[in-house]
Structure 1
Amino acid sequence: MASSSSLLFEEQFLCSICLDVFTEPVAILCGHNFCKACIRKYWDTTDLCQCPMCKKSFDRRPDLFVNTFISEMAAQFRKSIQVKATSSSDHCPTEPGEVACDVCTGTKHKALKSCLVCLASYCETHLEPHQIAPALKKHKLIEPVENLEDRMCKEHDKLLELFCRTDQTCVCVLCMKTDHKTHYTVPLKEEYGKKKAQLGKTGAQVQQMIQKQLQKVKDIKHSVALSKRDTEREIADSMQFFTALVHSIERSQADFIEVVEEKQKAAERKAAGLIKELEQEITELQRRNTELEQLTHTEDHLHLLQSSPSLCSLPPTKDWSKISVHSGQGVGTLRRAVSQLEEALWSEVKKLCDAELKRIQQYSVDVTLDADTANVHLILSKDRKQVRQSNTPNNHHDNPNRFSKCSSVLGNEGFSSGRFYYEVQVKGDSWDIGVAGESSNRKGDIILSPLDLYWSVVLRNGNEYKANDDSVVQLFLREKPQKVGVFVDYEEGQVSFYDVKNRSHIYSFTGCTFTEKLYPYFSPYFSNRGKNSVPLIICPVEYTD
């Protein structure tokens, strides 16, 4: 960097308006020097004729004459500046994307700062006047930016130094006196502080949103990990189940083959004994036949008469008309083997269902009945855990959510996500159990179907079980359920029913699409002259080890 004396010398040859070496320097009445073009342009943009440096006003524009002495000195100084700039700044030419110095001629060098007053950007060399000249030190320097002309008012060619809050735009001092005269305007610095505070607040909110989204990503990854673990466990369980199933089938097949083959061997042993006995009788008959033939050819009258009594009678033989060897294996041999296999498979299925029930029971929820939805012929217990039929209607007030005709009631709690499970004691001869959508029809006759937002299993006449899917599905249960478990997986679109006591699966609705809250659904069905007065009872879930 130059010494302080040389810097002072350099300052004397710089125009305080363009901050470059004088071009056609002129002196005005107050004694300050400027480029002839710079001072004229300055006066053209203001209503007052004053000095940019000391702000002294003049009644009229003074005549301007070029100072030849200063002009010659400035020309020599410009040459020395160019040599200095070349020697000191060759190492940092402008790279793509960087702001170039507005003063450099020839090779443009990288700007270090931009001046909001001069509307120009300066490299290290041309920035020196702003660092030493008292008047220039007051200028606002910022990190280098391009298009500084955008900071000037297009209409008045004045610096945009005000902000109109009415129109939410930057304006100059002349805009405030014309188009924005009645508007609420503030200095840019004031609006900057306000906007910066708003941006800080918004930034904090964005950070919160980012953290929230990152946590969601973390939760999803955790869910995927849990899902993967559950999938691996389910695959392992299925492998164990199917391996046991294959072994059962192979064992049943081996047992069946062994029984059939043993029967065949027994038949062969029996046949061999019979054949041996028959061959012995055949040998005896052949011997008798030989004796008869010899006797019939004899000429000895006495010998024939003496021998004929013993030879004329048939030799004793066994009655073979009712004796046979069965060619088949007997009726029902395969059926009995398959029945045994079925029992073995059913035992494995029960084990599988038992494990499934243990997993879903962890999603048990506390369900109570909603009196505002109960049909007038239903009686609810005080704890809202039981519902039964009544032959006489109750004096319930009218409610748009109440079942008007069907003997039904909903649970008080609705579910719009996740999984939930509850159990109901069912000892009557007719009942409905399941879930219903929040907007399902409850007036007049209702249709228990997923199309009408009902997913249910029903019992009629003591032994007719049905699942009300898109079409009715007849269910054939091995035993009559005493307690039914209902499990719903909202996201998976599944509603499943279980016989809790027998640890068996009853039916599942799958591939459902739920878009609203689901409520537990109950109906003890209409009483048949008091024959169906057994209540439906919501039971606490009893966890099994």
Structure 2
Amino acid sequence: MASKRPFCDADFLCAVCHDVFDRPVVLLCGHSFCRGCIEQYWSVSDSRQCPMCRQISANTPSLNLALGNLCQAFLHHKRHLEELCEVHQEKRTLVCCVDEQLLCEICRQSEEHRNHTHRPVQEVVEEHKGVLRSKLDLLKKNMELMQQADFECDLLALKMNHDAPDLENRIKAGFKDIHQLLDDEEKAMFNDLKLEKKEKLESLKSKNEMISEVIHNLTTTIKDLEKELDSGDIRIIRNFKDALVRAQCKPEDPEMTPGDLIDIAKYVGNFNHNVWEKIRRSITYTPVVLDPNTANFHLTLSVDPTSVWNHNKSEVINEQSNNNIERFADCPCVLGYVGYSTGTHTWDVDVGQNTSWMVGVAVESVQRKGTNGLPSGIWCIGHDGEVLSVTDPLESRVPLHGFAKPTAVRVNLDLSEGRLSFSDLLEETVYHTFTHNFIEKVFPFFYTKCHFPLTILPKSFKEEI
């Protein structure tokens, strides 16, 4: 018996997505699927087989144009049926504002909806479309943000893959230097041991020679006395006094003195600690190292990284390649790698010929994006080429008149007392002291618009001991 409906829904459904075919393609076996569905299915499958009968399709499937046209007609027919009232088979042109139901003109006059407010379908549709368009715009913006974030993640991955080999080489070079220090210390210890052995063996040889001479003399004296005892009574009486003098000869005590042996404890006692202390006294370090991940695009850092300068390049910089969240986007500044929340910390900065610089501290939450000038949350001292001045988080700049341009500045941060002082490293003149209760962690801060470097000066462990 023929169906009253011209179409059967199942005939137009893809066996993979269970939705109406979208750009259907037909396989060699005769089964059809959405192009996107079969391509995705094959992308995760070991072979190009049919999802239904498992027959292999060697060739690229062709579009099933006839099925595609039928699907369009089917969808058009379904939309037409949806527009008709299921009770009266009239087109539904109204929306009941109370029941939120689609109505035809006959339904409108029914007792159920007669006293309700009604609106034309097109009017409600336009209103709904407006709401959906606003939601769609928001979703598209979110999509753009996610795509941008995905793009930035890819760029960060590329940068990490680019940086890692260079860092590996620098780490190897650093350990090579440490190995050289250890090799030098090993050679020095072997030389010390060799020299001590030589000196003490020579001393022992001298003592042996002295003892040998004494033994020779004693042997001669003993033989003479033994001969004297066998010489007869008259000779014994005659030579007694002379023999007695020779018999009373007493050599020096040949006992060993302290320090004759090699000083074993000096070489192996607390071996690791002693070697480390010797190396520690011979090397220098910088109390602050710069964090390259915070450096503005216009800044260049030394390999250490303990120096920073502004390369003053006018060409457009590809900010997207390094636009991580820690980086200062607008202000030419960089932070130290380690932040402080307790204790006293001091570092010296060689400003040299730099004519536009600032050094100080910044809070961890300092604004790094979208700033027109100096970010808030900064305590610093600086020189603009004309006058020395200090700046606080309120961005109030106070000139320091009467001071010459320094060549090196000492920064002293005492978090227990809440003091931040700036002084001339050479003259030991204090320029200014801020008093503030630093609740948030603070980081060393460096700013420069000049191509001459700001350099954090090294210290030696010997100075601290």
TM range (shorter): 0.3 to 0.5
Q: Greater CA radius of gyration, 1 or 2?
A: 1
Q: TM-score, normalised by structure 2?
A: 0.46
Q: TM-score, normalised by structure 1?
A: 0.40
Bigger relative contact order (CA 8 A; separation at least 6): 2
